[in-house]
Structure 1
Amino acid sequence: MPPQHNVKHIKIAIVGAGSVGVTTAYALLLNGLAAEIVLIDIDKNRALGEVMDLSHAAHFAQARVRAGEYEDCAGSAAVIITAGVNQKPGQTRLDLVKTNYALFQDVVPKIAQHAPDTILVVATNPVDVLTHAAHQLSGFPVERVLGSGTAMDTTRFRHELGKYFGVNPRNVHAVIVGEHGDSQLAVWSLATISGMRLKDYCQQKGVEFSEAAMEECSKRTKEAAYEIIRRKGKTNYGVASVLVSILEPIITDADAIMTVSRVGTYGGVEDVALSMPCKLNRHGAHQDVPLLLSKSEQEALRQSALSIKEVLSSLTAS
């Protein structure tokens, strides 16, 4: 069992010194959640350069940043995996899966060997498939292997709804579940503002509720990453801040609820990883209370699970 965490002694290891890994290290540094941040990358020179740069920012924070090897994962409260290739034009999602799965076959057992009590946080895409892979390759219990999943999509969704309704996104309670990808599901039946369902909120406010506008919010949420990648070639700030927000309740044992990816049975589909609201604390991610979905949402969740299962099956078959 992981020890009770004290921020003064917290070590976080990040595997992958690409833009997501480094931006996460920077966000973590400024957040003050860790006393030590270890950056691990196959390109040791790059990792060292990033650490030198980050160390100059560490002057304003209370944390030590250093480059390391897999053995330096020992004693980490969490190890974040951001390493992997990004999808290139003309490359299928399956090609991306195979390349990154091969990388995980190398990386995950090394982490598990040196940090057998850590919590694995997977950010590499396709995150649901690779969360499942990390669970299998590590031999860790399901609660100690989680993916960033739809935590990012949920943040984007609340941003879109907040913008549309003219309220702070923090006051919008709405989630995206399922795959972190095209089959993700907006849970409209449980979306609320001020404790009221969206239709009731509109009625109380004296404005018309628009299904079309809601679908547009959902569409923009789903397509946000594509839009950002088309314009700047990658996403890094949003996902880094989400990763830090996932780490915070793990480090502080806060029992916070977030939509993260975890292996389980969803919509009757067994042994698949996708996102549902989970309680996060120092022991990992726990699914204490099943989400109360409408019948159509239950079916959409099943389809999302089946689409991920199909990719998992193709991996084991190859």
Structure 2
Amino acid sequence: MIKHRHKVLLVGDGAVGSSFAYSLLQTTQEVDELVIVDLNKEKATGDAMDLQDITPLESPTIIRAGEYADASDADVAVITAGVPRKPGETRLDLVNKNAKILSTIVKPIVDSGFHGIFVVSSNPVDILTTLTQRISGFPKERVIGTGTSLDSARLNVILAEKLDVPVSEIDAHIMGEHGDTSFAAFDEATVNGQPLKEVADFSATNYAGIEEMVKERGGKIIARKGATFYGVAKCLAYIVKAILENRNVTLPISAPLNGEYGVSDLYLGVPAVINTSGIVKVIEHDLSAEESKKMAHSAAKMKEVLDGVEL
């Protein structure tokens, strides 16, 4: 039987892009070809050569620098390109800069004949994922953003530290915007299968403080080392692995809402099932009244920002 070849196109060879490429090659054996596209082609070529050196210990993947035209037969196009957040900036401060960059990426990929799945991690990710779908005209299920997958990982880390349990025992999600209007779905969170609120002796102030710690974590990392990239790179690799291996994985991602949670015509961070078709299903939790109010606030903020985007 002839094995289907899997090809991934990566656009953006900065810290997130290169970390994603390294993580992807260690995460799955399903990538036969990885093509790196960057304005700095010399850097992309050097990174490809550097990554080639791990293939004898991982898998025999063809890795090279390329062009947008290489997307024509790719399964996945991963977009990490854009202006990174600086200390003191919010993700929304980047919106018009990165929206303009996005349009110069998505259009030539579509023009190449690409029929795969877009996966976006550039910030503000919910806005740029929504715009990727609109610019490309692709079915909504074939455009995915990393959404609150990174925020949720941070929440799990913080809860594990506070409860002194292995992080693998925590199952908790951040929902809404990947940014300041996000919120923790504490009512739905579990510890080793038990409801968090039955296990943890936290006050309302404790819960609010944990939510704030999640929101501040990225800024604290940026203040100390200039950027965050390992966490989101691993989330990206996990999403792409789910697509290539048809794994039916549930993750909190930027997913298209069409009435779920009372939100429409917008990508926002919610749990969703991913496989080789893209987004198979949005998981709609029965949120508390307070959580529903926070979701509506996050959606309203994103729509406000979208209305002001200049492409």
Establish whether TM, by shorter chain, passes 0.5: yes
1:74 aligned counterpart, secondary structure: helix
| One of 256, 260, 263 as aligned partner of 2:249 | 256
Instruction: Check the 8 A contact 2:88/2:219 in 1, yes or no.
Output: no
User: How many Å apart are 1:93 and its aligned residue?
Assistant: 5.3
Instruction: Check the 8 A contact 2:82/2:122 in 1, yes or no.
Output: yes
Query: C-alpha separation between the residues in 1 aligned to 2:309 and 2:64?
Result: 35
Instruction: Check the 8 A contact 2:85/2:227 in 1, yes or no.
Output: no
The answer as to 2:13 corresponding to 1:17 is yes
Residues 83-102 of structure 1 mapped to structure 2, 5 A cutoff: 83-88=81-86, 96-102=94-100
Q: CA offsets, 1:44-95, max 9 Å, x none?
A: 1111111111112223221121111111112222111000011346767555
Gap runs ≥5 in structure 1: 203-207
Instruction: Check the 8 A contact 2:118/2:142 in 1, yes or no.
Output: yes
Match of 1:49 in 2: 46
- TM (norm. structure 2) is 0.93
Match of 2:301 in 1: 307
The answer as to 2:36 corresponding to 1:39 is yes
Residues 202-281 of structure 1 mapped to structure 2, 5 A cutoff: 202=200, 208-265=201-258, 267-281=261-275
Identify if the C-alpha distance between structure 1 residues 123 and 212 changes in structure 2 by more than 3 Å, giving closer, same or farther. Answer: same
2:151 aligned counterpart, secondary structure: helix
Query: C-alpha separation between the residues in 2 aligned to 1:91 and 1:173?
Result: 30
User: How many Å apart are 1:263 and its aligned residue?
Assistant: 2.6
Query: C-alpha separation between the residues in 2 aligned to 1:170 and 1:211?
Result: 24
2:34 aligned counterpart, secondary structure: strand
Query: C-alpha separation between the residues in 2 aligned to 1:217 and 1:200?
Result: 17
Amino acid at match of 2:205: A
Match of 1:205 in 2: none
Identify if the C-alpha distance between structure 1 residues 90 and 301 changes in structure 2 by more than 3 Å, giving closer, same or farther. Answer: closer
2:53 aligned counterpart, secondary structure: helix
Amino acid at match of 1:226: G
User: How many Å apart are 1:115 and its aligned residue?
Assistant: 4.5
Between Structure 1 and Structure 2, how many residues are aligned? 307
Query: C-alpha separation between the residues in 1 aligned to 2:113 and 2:156?
Result: 35
The answer as to 2:24 corresponding to 1:28 is yes
Query: C-alpha separation between the residues in 2 aligned to 1:26 and 1:267?
Result: 36
User: How many Å apart are 1:216 and its aligned residue?
Assistant: 2.7
Runs of 4+ in structure 1 deviating by more than 6 angstroms, as ranges, are: none
1:315 aligned counterpart, secondary structure: coil
Query: C-alpha separation between the residues in 1 aligned to 2:186 and 2:136?
Result: 36
Amino acid at match of 1:86: P
Gap runs ≥5 in structure 2: none
